[in-house]
């Protein structure tokens, strides 16, 4: 029977289903089932896209990266501050980087411990340093309180000398020792108690030591009572003149609990030697006299004290 177009053709089989080019044949489906995906004979449907498994979070869109942000990330580690480190204990003179005394440090310590002034000169027979050395011996004691006169008669060279010698002694003590400073008329160091003799602590107190003014008064009793409250093993008491007659008894009673060794220093004026020597001897300490510059007078040879204190 001729086809509608006029061309001879094969008549369609009755009840046949038109072929679907996008659907695999039964034979192809059987081969895919036997061999699995990707095997010969298996084919993917071209009309279906890959779908992510249900329940999986969608990947966020990548953030935009700029040259500036990248440069910041690269530079950050170099610009970041170094990690905090534990405070380093101050190094004693002559010690190596590990804090172990070296040859020089050992020599200095031994000479000081042996009672010299650090320059090979022995102490005087009464235990006091020689006249030309520092009035204070930084190697005596480990918890040390310094009590200094700031009366009106100390103004000028005497005060400058006393305070300079004090700071010099502090710098030579070593970080394993502690210090406290009290002036009289009474003025205590602005710290709750003794501080380790580290360079940082000494620097923090140096300005206060030199800036404190002078006042009327010559009684060291209150300052000494404050000193003994810290239970020191050594106290240095420096003045340029006489104390009240009851000062020695008051100081001796205040030292009953601490039992500190009190070393006394008469600066440029030996008129107060009797009381100062008594204070020192009653505690097992030593008295010494420091003459004015250019004078080599022995103890008791200095001019009388000023009448204004």
- For residue 132, being part of any structural domain is answered with no
- For residue 182, being part of any structural domain is answered with yes
Q: How far is residue 241's CA from residue 184's CA, in Å, rounded to a whole number?
A: 13
The pTM of the full predicted model, rounded to 2 decimals, is: 0.57
Q: Which of 108, 190, 184 is nearest to 146 (CA)?
A: 184
Q: What pLDDT, on a 0 to 100 scale, did the predictor assign at position 6? A: 46
- For residue 180, being part of any structural domain is answered with yes
Q: How many C-beta atoms surround the C-beta of residue 306 within 10 A?
A: 17
- For residue 222, being part of any structural domain is answered with yes
Whose structure tokens read 């999986």? 56
Q: How far is residue 102's CA from residue 176's CA, in Å, rounded to a whole number?
A: 16
Total of domains in the chain: 1
- For residue 154, being part of any structural domain is answered with yes
pLDDT tens-digit readout, 58-96: 544 544 444 444 334 334 444 444 444 344 333 333 333
- For residue 153, being part of any structural domain is answered with yes
Q: What pLDDT, on a 0 to 100 scale, did the predictor assign at position 294? A: 82
> In the chain, where do the E strands start and end?
143-149, 178-184, 187-188, 195-196, 234-239, 261-267, 287-290
- For residue 82, being part of any structural domain is answered with no
Q: What pLDDT, on a 0 to 100 scale, did the predictor assign at position 70? A: 36
Low-confidence ranges of the chain (pLDDT < 50): 1-22, 28, 30-33, 35-36, 38-57, 59-60, 62-132, 298-308
Q: What pLDDT, on a 0 to 100 scale, did the predictor assign at position 217? A: 94
- For residue 139, being part of any structural domain is answered with no
**Domain of residue 282, residue span:** 144-290
List the CATH number of the domain containing 239. 3.40.50.410
Q: What pLDDT, on a 0 to 100 scale, did the predictor assign at position 72? A: 41
C-alpha atoms less than 13 angstroms from C-alpha of 104 in its C-beta half-sphere? 6
Judge residue 123's burial from the number of C-beta atoms within 10 Å of its C-beta, 0-12 exposed, 13-18 middle, 19 or more buried: middle
């Amino acid at each position: 029977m001729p086809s509608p177009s006029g061309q001879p053709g094969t008549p369609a089989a009755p009840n046949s289903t038109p072929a679907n080019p996008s659907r695999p044949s039964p034979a192809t489906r059987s081969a895919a089932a036997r061999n699995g995906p990707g095997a010969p004979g298996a084919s993917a449907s071209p009309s279906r896209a890959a779908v992510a498994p249900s329940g999986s979070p969608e990947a966020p869109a990548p953030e935009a990266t700029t040259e500036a942000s990248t440069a910041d990330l690269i530079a950050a580690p170099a610009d970041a501050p170094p990690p905090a480190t534990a405070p380093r204990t101050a190094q004693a003179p002559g010690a190596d980087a590990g804090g172990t005394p070296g040859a020089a440090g050992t020599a200095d310590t031994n000479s000081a411990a042996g009672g010299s002034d650090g320059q090979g000169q022995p102490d005087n027979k009464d235990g006091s340093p020689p006249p030309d050395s520092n009035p204070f011996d930084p190697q005596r004691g480990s918890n040390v309180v310094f009590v200094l006169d700031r009366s009106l008669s100390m103004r000028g060279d005497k005060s400058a000398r006393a305070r300079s010698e004090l700071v010099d002694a502090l710098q030579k003590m070593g970080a394993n020792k502690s210090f406290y400073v009290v002036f009289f008329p009474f003025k205590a160091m602005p710290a709750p108690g003794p501080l380790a003799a580290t360079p940082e602590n000494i620097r923090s107190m140096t300005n206060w030591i030199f800036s404190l003014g002078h006042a009327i008064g010559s009684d060291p009793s209150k300052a000494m009572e404050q000193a003994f409250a810290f239970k020191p093993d050594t106290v240095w008491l420096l003045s340029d003149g006489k104390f009240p007659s009851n000062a020695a008894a008051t100081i001796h009673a205040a030292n009953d609990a601490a039992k500190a060794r009190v070393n006394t220093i008469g600066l440029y004026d030996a008129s107060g030697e009797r009381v100062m020597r008594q204070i020192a001897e009653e505690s097992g300490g030593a008295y010494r006299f420091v003459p004015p510059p250019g004078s080599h007078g022995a103890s008791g040879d200095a001019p009388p004290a000023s009448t204004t204190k």
